[in-house]
Every structure is written in structure tokens, then in C-alpha cells.
């Protein structure tokens, strides 16, 4: 039994040595095959591990060079990374098969491995990667001969329309707020007032009376905001004519009439007045005359309708319902009747006795007159 065991071990040893030899024999047959048959997995160095020949993996390749890499250094370009991401910057260094150094837009530099580059483009021309260099641009056609070029015509450019810029607004201080004042509610009311006047006679009366002064009392009714009507009684005293022998004392005048007043600004700080009145006026002129044998005295009375007394001026409100008026006025009228009451005494040639008599004379007249003056008045609403 022992010699049989030994023979079995020797047979197994020879069988193990025969398997790798068979493998090498197959390789030798493959190498002896015709050159036209491709060797797909032949080892590069011919080494074998004994039990099998290991298959080597082909090394990874980078992008193909499609242009002049030396001229790309120092120029701006774009590197395309895997996934389509583009990295723009300036090419500082280019080592094909190893790396490319680029300066980015923020000033920093970055070294990009050659295997991580898909494409490098310089000025729209692909120098690394892609199928090759970009085609050259088409040739530029030569310009025509100078004689064939038409003379250029230039049309004057239309001037742009003027633009208006509003001047800047300067604000010196806070803006004022205008508050509209509403007029107070109007209520009709009665008024009581009057005026004091300085009067000067016109040319037609200067031979009869001198200048004078008068006082007037008015009772009125304010029926609208701007309107007032009133009744008036005026008494004026005129001085005697200087140097006249026909009048001895001052004359007196009486006016009784009615008027209508318009106030253009009744609720303002100053009112503007227009006053029109008419009535009946009388004038009494005392007379005194005499000579060596004749003495006489009496009164001449003139009367007539006064169609117009025109006044204009301003009003100053003092308190609610009370105001002061400053007016200029003019009276125009005609005396249509005259009446004289006289007393006459005649002495004899010796002056020892005298005979006295009285007489009354009435007559129609047509004597026009006019006076002008200034007056200060006031009114109080009752």
C-alpha cells in the first residue's frame, strides 16, 4: 500500500505543473497567429502570474489638443468642466496631460487637473477638447474700386426737442395752512347811528352862507348782509359870510330824508361803503340892515327837494354790531320857494321918532345849490 500512495502523490504533482504549461502554450499559439488578427487582451510586458495571466486596465486619457497650446497662454478663455460648468479667466500655464493654471475674475488662481477638463476655448476657438479646431472665418470680400463707391450723402440730424426741467422748489419754512373762514350767520336787525360833518358851500351859496358843521341822526334796518336802509334828520349851522352887510348871524339848514347803504365787505376787517340818499332841505338866513334913517331885520327862508346826496368811504368794525365810518359826501339840490319875514323902522329927519312896519313875502324861486364835506359816523345794531 505504501508504494501505491507514493505513486498517487507524484501523479498529482505532475498534473499541477501541466496546467500552466497549457496556458503558456495557448499564448504562444495566439502570438503565432497572423498579424491581421487583432490581439485584444495581450499583456504588455509578457509576464504571467503562474496560474493566469492578469489583464491590465488601459490608462485614462485627457482631452485631445485641437490647437496651438503655446499661443493660448496669457489669453482670456473659458474652461468647460464635467457637467457643462464653464469657468472663465486668464490662462497662466498649460501643461498638456498634467494641468492648466487659470487666474479667475476675483484675482485668485486655480490649478485644474488635465483629466478634469472637457474643453478649453480661447476667443470662440476650441484649442483643447472637442472634435478639432474651429473652422477659419470666411474670407472678407475685397471692397469695390473707389470709382464704384457712391458719394455718401449725409442728412442733418434732427435736433432733439427741448426738454423743460422745472426749477427746483425751495422751502424756506413750514408751509402755511390756509383756513377758509366761513361768514357768520346773518340775522336782520335795526340800527341806530349818526354822523358829524364838516360842510363847505358851493359857488352858488358862497354869497349867502359860509362854511359850517352838522349833526345827523339815523334809524335804519339792515335787511341783507350787504344792504341797509335808513331815515335821517340833519341839522347844519353855517357861519355868516365875512364882510356881508345883508346877514348878521349864522344860517341854519335842516335836511329830512331817507337813504340806502351798500357795504361791499361787511365781514372783513375793513368795509367799503357807498351811500345814496334824498330828501327835503330848508335854509334859514337871518338878515339885518340899516342906514341913518332906516333900520330893518328879518329872515329869509329857502326850501326845496334834494334829489341826491352821494357818500363814499370805509367802515372799521370795532366789536360785533358796532362800527365807525369815514365818508366823503356831496349834496345837490334846488330851492324852489323863498319866504321873507322882515321888520322895517323909518326915523324922521331929526331922529326923534320912528315908524315901524313888518311884512311877509313868499315867492317861487329856482336856486340850485351844492355842498361838499367830510363826515365821521358810527352805527350800532340793536
Give pLDDT tens digits for 49-89.
Answer: 444 444 444 455 666 666 667 777 888 888 888 877 888 88
- Is residue 286 within 8 Å of residue 239, measured between CB atoms? no
- Residues 298-351: tens digit of each pLDDT: 788 999 999 999 999 999 999 988 999 999 999 999 999 999 877 777 666 665
**C-alpha grid cell, residue 131:** 472634435
Closest by CA to 73, choosing from 98, 96, 93, is 93
SS3 content of the chain, % helix, strand, coil (to 5): 10, 50, 40
Closest by CA to 234, choosing from 317, 128, 331, is 331
How high is the pLDDT of residue 361?
Answer: 78
Mean pLDDT of 373-379: 94
**C-alpha grid cell, residue 2:** 505504501
Q: Would the pTM count as exceeding 0.85? A: no
How high is the pLDDT of residue 347?
Answer: 67
Work out the pLDDT band at 34, boundaries 50, 70, 90. very low
Answer whether 69-128 and 189-381 agree in fold.
no
Q: Could you give the count of Cα atoms lying within 13 Å of 137 in the half-sphere of its Cβ? A: 6
Higher per-residue pLDDT: 56 or 120: 120
Select from 1.10.3720.10, 2.30.30.100, 3.40.630.190, 1.10.1040.10 the CATH code of 69-128.
Answer: 2.30.30.100
How high is the pLDDT of residue 365?
Answer: 81
Mean pLDDT of 204-227: 92
- Residues 20-29: tens digit of each pLDDT: 443 443 443 3
- Is residue 63 within 8 Å of residue 69, measured between CB atoms? no
What distance in Å separates the CA atoms of residue 252 and residue 239, rounded to the nearest whole number?
A: 9
How high is the pLDDT of residue 53?
Answer: 45
What distance in Å separates the CA atoms of residue 33 and residue 40, rounded to the nearest whole number?
A: 13
Higher per-residue pLDDT: 61 or 91: 91
Work out the pLDDT band at 45, boundaries 50, 70, 90. very low
Lateral strand order in the sheet of 109-113: 109-113, 99-103, 86-95, 76-80, 119-122, 125-128
- Residues 243-264: tens digit of each pLDDT: 655 555 689 999 999 999 999 9
Instruction: Write out the H or E segment, with its range, that includes residue 295.
Output: strand 294-319
CATH topology of domain 189-381: Porin (2.40.160)
Closest by CA to 63, choosing from 98, 93, 39, is 98
Q: Where are the domains of the chain?
A: 69-128, 189-381
How high is the pLDDT of residue 96?
Answer: 83
Mean pLDDT for the chain overall:
75
Closest by CA to 371, choosing from 196, 211, 194, is 211
**C-alpha grid cell, residue 245:** 352887510
Closest by CA to 70, choosing from 94, 51, 103, 34, is 94
**C-alpha grid cell, residue 17:** 505543473
Higher per-residue pLDDT: 24 or 167: 167
**Lowest pLDDT segment from 37-41, 170-174, 312-316:** 37-41
Mean pLDDT of 344-359: 67
**C-alpha grid cell, residue 71:** 499661443
Higher per-residue pLDDT: 288 or 23: 288
How high is the pLDDT of residue 354?
Answer: 65
Instruction: Compute CA distances 120 → 98, 104, 123, 131, whole Å.
Output: 14, 14, 10, 12
**C-alpha grid cell, residue 357:** 312896519
Higher per-residue pLDDT: 69 or 187: 187
What distance in Å separates the CA atoms of residue 245 and residue 25, rounded to the nearest whole number?
A: 185
DSSP-assigned letters across all residues of 48-88: --SS-PPPPPPPP--PPB-S-HHHHTTSEEEEEPTTS-EEE
Amino acid at each position: 500500500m505504501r508504494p501505491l500512495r507514493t505513486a498517487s502523490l507524484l501523479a498529482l504533482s505532475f498534473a499541477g505543473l501541466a496546467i500552466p504549461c497549457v496556458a503558456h502554450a495557448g499564448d504562444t499559439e495566439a502570438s503565432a497567429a497572423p498579424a491581421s488578427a487583432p490581439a485584444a487582451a495581450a499583456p504588455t510586458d509578457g509576464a504571467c502570474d503562474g496560474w493566469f495571466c492578469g489583464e491590465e486596465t488601459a490608462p485614462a486619457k485627457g482631452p485631445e489638443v485641437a490647437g496651438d497650446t503655446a499661443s493660448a497662454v496669457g489669453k482670456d478663455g473659458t474652461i468647460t468642466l464635467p457637467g457643462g460648468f464653464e469657468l472663465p479667466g486668464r490662462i497662466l500655464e498649460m501643461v498638456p496631460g498634467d494641468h492648466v493654471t487659470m487666474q479667475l475674475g476675483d484675482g485668485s488662481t486655480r490649478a485644474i487637473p488635465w483629466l478634469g477638463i472637457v474643453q478649453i476655448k480661447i476667443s470662440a476657438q476650441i484649442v483643447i477638447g472637442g472634435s478639432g479646431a474651429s473652422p477659419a472665418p470666411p474670407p472678407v470680400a475685397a471692397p469695390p474700386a473707389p470709382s464704384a463707391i457712391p458719394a455718401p450723402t449725409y442728412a442733418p440730424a434732427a435736433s432733439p426737442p427741448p426738454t423743460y426741467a422745472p426749477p427746483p422748489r425751495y422751502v424756506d419754512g413750514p408751509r402755511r395752512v390756509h383756513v377758509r373762514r366761513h361768514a357768520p350767520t346773518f340775522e336782520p336787525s335795526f340800527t341806530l347811528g349818526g354822523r358829524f360833518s364838516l360842510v363847505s358851500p358851493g359857488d352858488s351859496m358862497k354869497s349867502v352862507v359860509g362854511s359850517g358843521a352838522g349833526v345827523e341822526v339815523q334809524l335804519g334796518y339792515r335787511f341783507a348782509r350787504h344792504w341797509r336802509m335808513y331815515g335821517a334828520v340833519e341839522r347844519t349851522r353855517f357861519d355868516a359870510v365875512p364882510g356881508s352887510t345883508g346877514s348878521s348871524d349864522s344860517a341854519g339848514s335842516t335836511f329830512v330824508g331817507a337813504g340806502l347803504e351798500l357795504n361791499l365787505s361787511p365781514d372783513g376787517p375793513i368795509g367799503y361803503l357807498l351811500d345814496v340818499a334824498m330828501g327835503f332841505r330848508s335854509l334859514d338866513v337871518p338878515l339885518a340892515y340899516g342906514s341913518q334913517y332906516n333900520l330893518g331885520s328879518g329872515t329869509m327862508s329857502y326850501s326845496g327837494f334834494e334829489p341826491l346826496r352821494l357818500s363814499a368811504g370805509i367802515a372799521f368794525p370795532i366789536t360785533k354790531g358796532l362800527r365807525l365810518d369815514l365818508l366823503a359826501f356831496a349834496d345837490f339840490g334846488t330851492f324852489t320857494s323863498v319866504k321873507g319875514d322882515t321888520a322895517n323902522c323909518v326915523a324922521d329927519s331929526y331922529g326923534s321918532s320912528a315908524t315901524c312896519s313888518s311884512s311877509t313875502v313868499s315867492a317861487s324861486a329856482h336856486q340850485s345849490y351844492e355842498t361838499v364835506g367830510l363826515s365821521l359816523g358810527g352805527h350800532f345794531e340793536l
